[in-house]
Structure 1
Amino acid sequence: MSVSEDFQQAQIDVKKLGARPGNDVLLKLYALYKQGTHGDASGSRPGMFDLTGRAKFDAWKSVAGTDQQEAQRQYVELVRRLQGL
């Protein structure tokens, strides 16, 4: 399978995990997903009262510069680790 096919499958598999990952892992998954689908984060950082939005933006910004295909590969790898594969 190609990286993009693996990435699409991982998006399905992550919804079937037995246990909900911790917030740090969820933020990493979010960041890699966004980087893999949209590229580098754009726009301004959410306001200080939007804690969830800020955390997600900061996580996405932390992977800035990562190639979209590499971000997809890392996402697939993380989902597989969460599955115990």
Structure 2
Amino acid sequence: MNPGQIEELIRAGLPGARVAVRSEDNVHFEAVVVSPEFEGKRPLQRHQMVYRALGERMGGEIHALQLTTLTPAEAGG
């Protein structure tokens, strides 16, 4: 799995989200996800929303994912 595929999955699960994923080895990933759906949600809830979008790939094809989840206001627009 590559960063582009992960971005597509997250965007499909969180329509309207801005997503940037990077990885040096295609096993360990870092993602920044900005979505209005995160408004009023705690960090754990936000992460769970992203994990749901990725489904069973978490812990399988995606060994590790470091997440930064922000609302548009938190991201500065």
TM-score norm. by structure 1 comes to 0.28
Structure whose CA Rg is larger? 1
Higher helix share: 1
Higher strand share: 2
The structure, 1 or 2, with the larger RCO (C-alpha pairs under 8 Å, 6+ apart) is 1
